[in-house]
């Protein structure tokens, strides 16, 4: 690589960093004040692109038309953010932490289908930037003038945001709320208005980031999810709530990607941001410029203590489920096999995120690695299917041993993002290791032995194994081990003060949950006959989170119910309507608004109210 | 236990509802179709229009075996696990005769393996992967569309004719891109042993950092570029590459760049002079295509995309197989598919008995501009049968079964 191309790649990286920074800044701001992990932030970015495209077509491809379209699109997306906050999120601020994530996930689904209906399926390539589309020669190479302009936009927005936060009353309130939301409320500040205004600014920044990309990137329906992961990474690498940190992280990641390409390691770009995030979080647990949260104050109330499962109802349900294949058709059995696999997956995720207080955004790693381990032990190592099936979870467990060792050293969203980093690194290896995992194609021909090849037989086996897995996890929760985990969640300081080695317990919990997720994955793989990288993907992790939250994170049986309802709904809606994503999203939103504690949590509350005193 | 009992009652009712079998209609033949409609909407929207039109045409002409046909379609979410589940639902609940469809390679391969397990015919429409008929081929799976290898091979004569020595390659980092690249390197090397591959870029699908990639390719000073990018990646690459002067004095090949799905969004920026395969619907004047075009435009007030051709032809192939088999028996259907001949809008095709690949061809030409829109110019049709490797090579790749 010559000096000239080095400089050009540096500039390319900086240009990419600017738009990354705008999206991340909005995300960081929203999270800082409202503690909402806004999964729909990428969708707002996507709306920015679509909006700018339409507005430019309407206003004309002149410099004036272009720039007014960009500004108007950003403002319109800001208003969309306000609508989301007022109509949905405002109703669920008092829900268990992360419940809002479920609502924003539903909003992603709705926005995707709305965009499809409004703009159609074809990719929309916007115009080049009027007046800035000529290349500027630097060291004998051309770089578009627009890219150089973008390089300036990032720092300018950073400076403006800094002024807004440091020099205005609104900014002071935002900073205060970021540090201590309850205190700000106690001092008489109207929180609802503050949150709405923060949503407006955050969403408008995402919209601006999208609108400014119009000359560089076509508007497509996949942008939402591809942007959101990057934005989370940048926010966390920079340190939550730190705009300077977000800028630094955006530059670091943008430039690192450009150099990967420049030095001929383009395949690394699939994962480089997650590698950077992993390294940064291991070395600096609060990101580059983030600070440890001042005094961890529980938001809302401490979750109510869980009661142990009542045996007879659980047994009755099990018998009922075991009987279904005798009366139902083949497909019901297939669907139920999916449901029991996902139920164990969701319960294992709930085990660490509920009682143990360690949220994982990358739980699919263990599900997927268990599935791949089963498939590989069966196909490549030539083990009998039964042996491969039961050994696979331990392989997933081994990965949990390694990943967990790093993860339990962190807490909160940082921990969640480190689990995501490990999951994405695993995914990219599975996705690209053609010789071992068959790369993006995945492994096929992973069918069960003859005695299990009938759907009912396989289902009963899955029901038994997943039932045992769930029983082990629930049993662990009501053993001294489980009580220690809850102590660690509710009061880590006191737990350590009485001599508990909390990290060791959390590590063990992580490994147990990973092993059980691996069991779910391994059963899943043999039920499908094939396994593909999507089982290790962010989408799979998100599904797990949605199931747990839908059922109710503060309940014991919630994850099982959530897994069943989500899988069943998705199957049903996908069959009945073309716009099944919007339908699914609206269903979830309805559940979210009616049952802000999750389905089981809401039903339990109703039951408690109706029960004769 | 008021709530619990109610819940129980509700769930039982739901379970009962979902157990109820749809009344099996005896006067229609059901064909199960699954595809990633939401993930690859740009291609599959016209595809769906194509098969809907075919179904109506077949039924207007009296159906097949004296019955009307019906396509029961499902969204597989672009995910092999979901695809296998909906395939199961189509077979066991909808009682479809056999399966057609799928788009991405991994879904196609998973459904192919499922078809083998369930001993059911599966005609893959769109998956491009060579493996579905070769390395992973099985007795139950057939594939309609020209494969990655075939389309690459169609571009080789033009590439070799140029006698360019230094080639740079850019491809999306997944099965389709890697196998297109492998095929291109192998075939070009055979024709032109002194060729050098000076740079290779494999950006993630849908996430190309086009400026940096264009710069890295330019640094290698290639005489020619082979790209298998498509969709948003292609649009970004074209724009950045032309703004940065990458294409000046360089010949560029793009594997799918002439398909209306990917060419039309580029509008007046369509890269003139690129060598591509595609579908010049505006210029094909064979009678079979004219008939298709007229019917399609009358019905949808829109022009067909390549997806429309695939959806239409796939349905016609399925119907032809039923007609030839004279029954819905799987063995008879498989026997009928082997060597099945029919005429699709691209002309006559045969599903080869050797490897179950159809001989559907493609149009090869160069990109031009007309009225601010990209078109294909100087194009000619290449029959699929002329773009396949020798029978011996195929036999070596395909497992005996």
B169: domain CATH number is 3.40.50.2300
Q: Do B202 and A335 touch (CB under 8 A)?
A: no
Query: What ipTM, to 2 d.p.?
Result: 0.89
Q: Domain check: are B120 and B168 in the same one?
A: no
More confident residue, B301 or A189: B301
Percent of chain A past pLDDT 70, that is, above it, reads 97
Q: What's the pLDDT at B3?
A: 45
Mean pLDDT of the A23-30 span: 91
- A256 to chain B nearest CA, in Å? 11
B215 and A CB contact within 8 Å: yes
Q: Domain check: are B302 and B339 in the same one?
A: yes
Query: Residue B216's domain spans which residues?
Result: 149-283+363-387
Q: Which B-chain residues 44-83 have CB contacts (< 8 A) with chain A?
A: 44-45, 74-75, 77-81
Contacts of B175 (CB under 8 A, 6+ apart): A439, A440, A441, B105, B106, B129, B131
Q: Domain check: are B224 and B138 in the same one?
A: no
Task: For residues B274 and B232, give the distance between their C-alpha atoms in angstroms, rounded to a whole number.
Answer: 17
Report the run of H or E that residue B234 belongs to, with start and end.
helix B231-243
Task: Decide if pLDDT at A573 tops 70.
Answer: yes
Maximum average pLDDT range among A141-145, A286-290, B123-127, B395-399: B123-127
From A151-165, A598-612, B343-357, the region with the lowest mean pLDDT: A598-612
Q: Do B235 and A218 touch (CB under 8 A)?
A: yes
Q: What's the pLDDT at B19?
A: 45
> What is the residue-averaged pLDDT of chain A?
90
Substitution target in A122, A220, A327, A577 with the highest count of B β-carbons within 10 Å is A122
Substitution target in B52, B211, B222 with the highest count of A β-carbons within 10 Å is B211
Q: Domain check: are B250 and B367 in the same one?
A: yes
The verdict on residue B6 lying in a domain is: no
Task: For residues A123 and A219, give the distance between their C-alpha atoms in angstroms, rounded to a whole number.
Answer: 6
pLDDT digits (tens, 9 = 90+) for A34-89: 888 888 999 999 999 999 999 999 998 889 999 999 999 999 999 999 999 999 98
Q: What's the pLDDT at A418?
A: 93
Q: Let me know the angle formed at the C-alpha of A419 by A418 and A425, rounded to the nearest 5 degrees.
A: 90
Task: For residues B77 and A313, give the distance between their C-alpha atoms in angstroms, rounded to a whole number.
Answer: 35
Q: Do A571 and B85 touch (CB under 8 A)?
A: yes
In order of A284, A349, A478, A498, B153, the CA distances from A507 in angstroms are: 19, 14, 18, 19, 54
Q: Residue B401's pLDDT band (boundaries 50, 70, 90)?
A: low
The verdict on residue B16 lying in a domain is: no
Least CB–CB distance from B89: residue in A216, A327, A331? A331
Task: For residues A522 and A375, give the distance between their C-alpha atoms in angstroms, rounded to a whole number.
Answer: 8
Q: Domain check: are B38 and B108 in the same one?
A: yes
Q: Do A123 and B212 touch (CB under 8 A)?
A: no
Q: What's the pLDDT at B350?
A: 96
The verdict on residue B19 lying in a domain is: no
Q: Do B89 and A334 touch (CB under 8 A)?
A: yes
B207 and A CB contact within 8 Å: yes
Mean pLDDT of the A413-433 span: 92
The verdict on residue B397 lying in a domain is: no
Least CB–CB distance from A133: residue in B204, B243, B265? B243
pLDDT digits (tens, 9 = 90+) for B341-366: 999 999 999 999 999 999 999 999 99
More confident residue, B400 or A555: A555
pLDDT digits (tens, 9 = 90+) for B57-109: 999 999 999 999 999 999 998 899 999 999 999 999 999 999 999 999 999 99
Going across the sheet that includes B251-258, the strands are B196-201, B166-170, B224-227, B251-258, B275-278, B362-370, B373-382
- A345 to chain B nearest CA, in Å? 15
The verdict on residue B8 lying in a domain is: no
How far from the centroid of its chain's Cα atoms is residue B243's Cα?
31
Q: Domain check: are B340 and B326 in the same one?
A: yes
Task: Decide if pLDDT at A18 tops 70.
Answer: yes
Q: Residue A596's pLDDT band (boundaries 50, 70, 90)?
A: confident
Mean pLDDT of the B33-44 span: 91
- A319 to chain B nearest CA, in Å? 13
Task: For residues A142 and A410, give the distance between their C-alpha atoms in angstroms, rounded to a whole number.
Answer: 45
Q: Domain check: are B170 and B276 in the same one?
A: yes
pLDDT digits (tens, 9 = 90+) for A222-235: 899 889 989 999 99
Q: What's the pLDDT at A300?
A: 46
The verdict on residue B336 lying in a domain is: yes
What residue in B sits closest to A338 (Cα-Cα)?
B85
Task: Decide if pLDDT at A297 tops 60.
Answer: no
Q: Domain check: are B154 and B166 in the same one?
A: yes
The verdict on residue B292 lying in a domain is: yes
Phi-psi region of A360 (alpha: psi -120 to 50; beta: other; left: phi over 0): beta
More confident residue, A506 or B4: A506
Mean pLDDT of the A553-559 span: 88
Q: What angle do helix axes A558-576 and A580-594 make, rounded to 10 degrees?
A: 150
Q: What does the DSSP 8-state code read for residue B398?
A: S
Mean pLDDT of the A290-318 span: 72
Q: How many CA atoms lie within 13 A of B212 on its CB side?
A: 32
- Which residue matches tokens 């194009």? B379
Contacts of B298 (CB under 8 A, 6+ apart): none
Q: DSSP states of A471-498 as a string?
A: HHHHHHHTSHHHHHHHHHHH-HHHHHHT
The verdict on residue B392 lying in a domain is: no
Q: Do A144 and B211 touch (CB under 8 A)?
A: yes
Task: For residues A442 and A434, give the distance between their C-alpha atoms in angstroms, rounded to a whole number.
Answer: 9
Q: Domain check: are B184 and B303 in the same one?
A: no
Task: Decide if pLDDT at A103 tops 70.
Answer: yes
Domain boundaries along the sequence of chain A: 3-283, 327-551
What sign does the dihedral A526-A531-A536-A537 (CA atoms) show? negative
Report the run of H or E that residue A142 belongs to, with start and end.
strand A141-144
> What is the residue-averaged pLDDT of chain B?
91
Q: How many CA atoms lie within 13 A of A315 on its CB side?
A: 3
- Structure token digits, residue A468: 């045992």
Task: Decide if pLDDT at A572 tops 80.
Answer: yes
What residue in A sits closest to B219 (Cα-Cα)?
A5
Q: What's the pLDDT at A294?
A: 56
Predicted structure pTM score: 0.90
pLDDT digits (tens, 9 = 90+) for A535-547: 999 989 999 999 9
Q: Tell me how crowded residue A542 is: count the other CB atoms within 10 A of its CB.
A: 18
More confident residue, B9 or A522: A522
Start-to-end C-alpha separation, chain B: 58
Substitution target in B5, B81, B92, B181 with the highest count of A β-carbons within 10 Å is B81
Least CB–CB distance from B211: residue in A12, A332, A532? A12
Q: Domain check: are B67 and B207 in the same one?
A: no
Are B143 and B260 spatial neighbours (Cβ–Cβ below 8 Å)?
Answer: no
Q: What's the pLDDT at A141?
A: 82
Q: What does the DSSP 8-state code read for residue B264?
A: G
B10 and A CB contact within 8 Å: no
Q: Residue B23's pLDDT band (boundaries 50, 70, 90)?
A: very low
Are A44 and A209 spatial neighbours (Cβ–Cβ below 8 Å)?
Answer: no
- Structural domain count, chain B: 2
Q: DSSP states of A428-462 as a string?
A: HHHHH-HHHH-GGG-EEEEPPPGGG-SHHHHHHHH
What residue in B sits closest to A217 (Cα-Cα)?
B236
Q: What angle do helix axes A223-238 and A243-262 make, rounded to 10 degrees?
A: 120
Task: For residues A20 and A25, give the distance between their C-alpha atoms in angstroms, rounded to a whole number.
Answer: 9
Percent of chain B past pLDDT 70, that is, above it, reads 93
Q: Do A270 and B173 touch (CB under 8 A)?
A: yes
Q: Let me know the angle formed at the C-alpha of A159 by A155 and A162, rounded to the nearest 5 degrees.
A: 135
Percent of chain A past pLDDT 90, that is, above it, reads 59
- A181 to chain B nearest CA, in Å? 37
């Amino acid at each position: 690589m010559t000096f000239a191309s080095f400089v050009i790649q540096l500039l390319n990286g900086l240009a990419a960093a600017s738009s990354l920074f705008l999206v991340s800044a909005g995300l960081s701001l929203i999270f800082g004040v409202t503690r909402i992990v806004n999964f729909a932030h990428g969708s707002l970015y996507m709306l920015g692109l679509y909006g700018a495209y339409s507005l430019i077509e309407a206003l004309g491809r002149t410099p004036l038309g272009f720039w007014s379209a960009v500004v108007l699109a950003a403002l319109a997306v800001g208003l969309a953010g306000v609508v989301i906050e007022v109509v949905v999120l405002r109703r669920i601020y008092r829900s268990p932490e992360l419940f809002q994530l479920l609502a924003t996930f539903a909003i992603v689904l709705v926005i995707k289908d709305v965009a499809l209906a409004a703009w159609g399926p074809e990719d929309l390539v916007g115009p080049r930037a009027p007046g800035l589309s000529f290349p500027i020669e630097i060291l004998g190479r051309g770089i578009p003038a627009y890219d150089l302009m973008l390089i300036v936009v990032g720092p300018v927005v950073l400076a403006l945001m800094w002024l807004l936060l440091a020099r205005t009353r609104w900014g002071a309130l935002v900073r205060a709320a970021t540090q201590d939301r309850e205190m700000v409320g106690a001092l008489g500040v109207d929180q609802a208005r503050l949150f709405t205004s923060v949503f407006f600014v955050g969403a408008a920044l995402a919209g601006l980031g999208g609108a400014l990309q119009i000359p560089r990137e076509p508007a497509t329906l996949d942008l939402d999810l591809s942007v959101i992961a990057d934005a989370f990474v940048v926010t966390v690498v920079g340190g939550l709530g730190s705009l300077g940190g977000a800028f630094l992280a955006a530059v670091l990641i943008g430039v690192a990607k450009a150099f990967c390409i420049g030095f001929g390691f383009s395949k690394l770009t699939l994962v480089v941001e997650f590698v950077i995030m992993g390294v940064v979080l291991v070395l600096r647990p609060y990101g580059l410029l983030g600070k440890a949260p001042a005094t961890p104050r529980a938001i809302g109330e401490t979750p109510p203590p869980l009661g142990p499962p009542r045996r007879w109802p659980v047994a009755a349900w099990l018998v009922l489920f075991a009987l279904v294949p005798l009366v139902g058709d083949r497909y019901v059995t297939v669907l139920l096999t999916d449901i029991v696999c996902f139920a164990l997956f969701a319960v294992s995720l709930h085990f660490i995120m509920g009682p143990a207080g360690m949220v994982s955004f990358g739980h699919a790693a263990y599900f997927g690695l268990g599935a791949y381990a089963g498939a590989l032990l069966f196909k490549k190592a030539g083990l009998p299917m039964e042996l491969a099936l039961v050994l696979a979870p331990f392989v997933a467990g081994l990965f949990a041993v390694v990943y967990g060792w790093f993860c339990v050293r962190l807490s909160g969203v940082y921990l969640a993002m480190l689990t995501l980093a490990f999951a994405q690194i695993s995914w990219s290896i599975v996705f690209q290791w053609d010789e071992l995992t068959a790369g993006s194609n995945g492994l096929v021909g992973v069918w069960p032995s003859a005695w299990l090849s009938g759907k009912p037989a396989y289902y009963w086996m899955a029901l038994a194994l997943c039932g045992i897995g769930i029983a082990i996890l629930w049993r662990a929760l009501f053993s001294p081990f489980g009580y220690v985990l809850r102590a660690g969640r509710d009061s880590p300081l006191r737990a350590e003060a009485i001599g508990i080695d909390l990290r060791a317990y959390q590590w063990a919990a992580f490994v147990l949950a990973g092993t059980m997720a691996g069991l779910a994955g391994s059963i899943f793989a043999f039920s499908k006959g094939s396994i593909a990288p999507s089982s290790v993907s962010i989408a799979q992790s998100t599904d797990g989170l949605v199931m747990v939250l839908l059922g109710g994170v503060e309940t014991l049986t919630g994850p099982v119910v959530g897994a069943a309802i989500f899988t069943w709904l998705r199957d049903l809606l996908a069959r009945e309507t073309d716009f099944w994503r919007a339908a699914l999203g609206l269903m979830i939103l309805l559940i979210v608004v009616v049952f802000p504690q999750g389905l089981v949590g809401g039903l339990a509350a109703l039951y408690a109210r109706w029960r004769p005193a | 236990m008021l709530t619990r009992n109610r819940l129980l009652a509700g769930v039982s009712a739901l379970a009962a509802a979902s157990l109820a079998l749809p009344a099996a209609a005896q006067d229609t033949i059901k064909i199960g179709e699954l595809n990633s409609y939401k993930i690859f909407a740009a291609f599959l929207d016209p595809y769906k229009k194509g098969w809907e039109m075919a179904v109506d045409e077949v039924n207007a002409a009296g159906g097949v075996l004296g019955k009307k046909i019906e396509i029961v379609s499902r969204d597989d979410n672009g995910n092999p696990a979901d695809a296998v589940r909906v395939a199961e639902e189509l077979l066991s609940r909808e009682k479809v005769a056999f399966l057609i469809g799928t788009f991405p390679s991994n879904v196609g391969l998973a459904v192919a393996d499922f078809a083998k397990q369930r001993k059911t015919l599966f005609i893959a429409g769109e998956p491009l992967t060579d493996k579905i008929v070769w390395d992973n081929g099985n007795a139950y799976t057939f594939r309609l569309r020209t494969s990655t290898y075939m389309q690459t091979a169609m571009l080789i004569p033009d590439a070799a004719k140029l006698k360019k020595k230094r080639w740079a390659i850019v491809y999306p980092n997944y099965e389709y891109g890697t196998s297109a690249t492998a095929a291109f390197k192998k075939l070009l090397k055979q024709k032109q042993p002194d060729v050098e591959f000076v740079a290779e870029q494999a950006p993630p699908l849908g996430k190309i950092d086009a400026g940096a990639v264009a710069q890295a390719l330019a640094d290698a000073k290639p005489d020619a570029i082979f790209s298998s990018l498509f969709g948003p990646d292609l649009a970004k690459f074209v724009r950045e590459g032309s703004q940065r002067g990458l294409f000046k004095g360089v010949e560029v090949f793009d594997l799918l760049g002439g398909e209306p799905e990917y060419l039309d969004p580029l509008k007046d920026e369509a890269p003139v002079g690129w060598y591509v395969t595609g579908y010049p619907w505006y210029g094909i004047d064979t009678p079979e295509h004219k008939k298709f075009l007229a019917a399609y435009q009358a019905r949808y007030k829109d022009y067909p995309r390549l997806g429309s051709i695939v959806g239409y032809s796939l349905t016609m192939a399925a119907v032809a197989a039923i007609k030839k088999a004279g029954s819905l028996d799987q063995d008879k259907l498989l026997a009928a598919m082997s060597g099945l001949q029919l005429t699709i809008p691209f002309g006559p095709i045969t599903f080869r008995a050797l490897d179950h690949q159809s001989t559907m061809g493609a149009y090869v030409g160069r990109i031009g501009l007309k009225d601010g829109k990209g078109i294909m110019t100087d194009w000619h049709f290449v029959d699929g049968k002329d773009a396949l490797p020798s029978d011996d090579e195929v036999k070596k790749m395909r497992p005996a079964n």
